[in-house]
Amino acid sequence: DQQVKQNSPSLSVQEGRISILNCDYTNSMFDYFLWYKKYPAEGPTFLISISSIKDKNEDGRFTVFLNKSAKHLSLHIVPSQPGDSAVYFCAASDPNYGGSQGNLIFGKGTKLSVKP
Amino acid sequence: DAGVTQSPTHLIKTRGQHVTLRCSPISGHKSVSWYQQVLGQGPQFIFQYYEKEERGRGNFPDRFSARQFPNYSSELNVNALLLGDSALYLCASSIDANTEAFFGQGTRLTVV
């Protein structure tokens, strides 16, 4: 049973436009969320995170929004660039391990394609 | 600075065999976690070790085991391989058990 869900397997966006990647979760005890980016033949790379005490966190072109009542978070990339083309994973820190980032629950990922 | 390094990068094994995967964390990192990523899925947590002690274990059978050495490197062992064990095995290290995890490039295991 998936506790972290990314329901869109793929997303295609034009360069310069906004990319919005969505993630839903089922466990209301989750209190720390992360986004990772993964290129083929590489391991996931940390992008941005958000704690449940916030509803927004921004880092350059990347912004993550958290809606706790809806158990939903989203990653916004503005403006999108061709180099952003990758698989994006949403992850939650397992509360059974006290917020450890060494024990993450991942979604299935969304493949983002940014077209020039 | 070297990142997380995993060896080998690719491996082909036969059903029933045993495999050992290795991970060297970033220098100064004391926590190592292992994940399995099958095609089309996100990484799934297998183990976390911190200061050579097992700190967490995911929902994997006892055929999977791991350990962490005094230099904080780690091995993941899988016995009696099944076709379904074919996956990308990822290692991640962090300074301690609760800080940002950095991933290696993974070991691609194929069981035939």
Over residues B1-11, the pLDDT tens digits come to 679 999 999 99
The three-state secondary structure class of B101 is coil
Which chain A residues touch B8 with a CB distance below 8 Å?
Answer: none
Structure tokens at A39: 């290129």
Q: Is B105 on the interface with A (CB under 8 A)?
A: yes
Residue that is written with structure tokens 């990068």 in the block: B9
Q: Point out the residues of chain B with pLDDT beneath 70.
A: 1
Closest to A34 measured CA to CA, from A69, A2, A1, A73: A73
Sorting pLDDT into bands at 50, 70 and 90, what band is A57?
A: very high
Phi-psi domain of B94 (left: phi exceeds 0; alpha: psi -120 through 50; beta: other): beta
User: Quick check: B35 and B55 in contact, CB under 8 A?
Assistant: no
Give the percent of chain B with pLDDT over 70. Answer: 99
Q: How many residues does chain A have?
A: 116
Beta bridge partners of A104: A93
Give the percent of chain A with pLDDT over 90. Answer: 80
Closest to B23 measured CA to CA, from B69, B97, B79, B91: B91
Instruction: Give residue B1's pLDDT.
Output: 60
Q: Is A82 on the interface with B (CB under 8 A)?
A: no
Over residues A63-78, the pLDDT tens digits come to 999 999 999 999 999 9
Which chain B residues touch A89 with a CB distance below 8 Å?
Answer: 42-43
* Number of H-type helices and E-type strands within chain A: 0, 11
Q: Is A91 on the interface with B (CB under 8 A)?
A: yes
Residue that is written with structure tokens 């020039």 in the block: A116
User: Quick check: A61 and A76 in contact, CB under 8 A?
Assistant: no
Sorting pLDDT into bands at 50, 70 and 90, what band is A98?
A: low
Phi-psi domain of B95 (left: phi exceeds 0; alpha: psi -120 through 50; beta: other): alpha
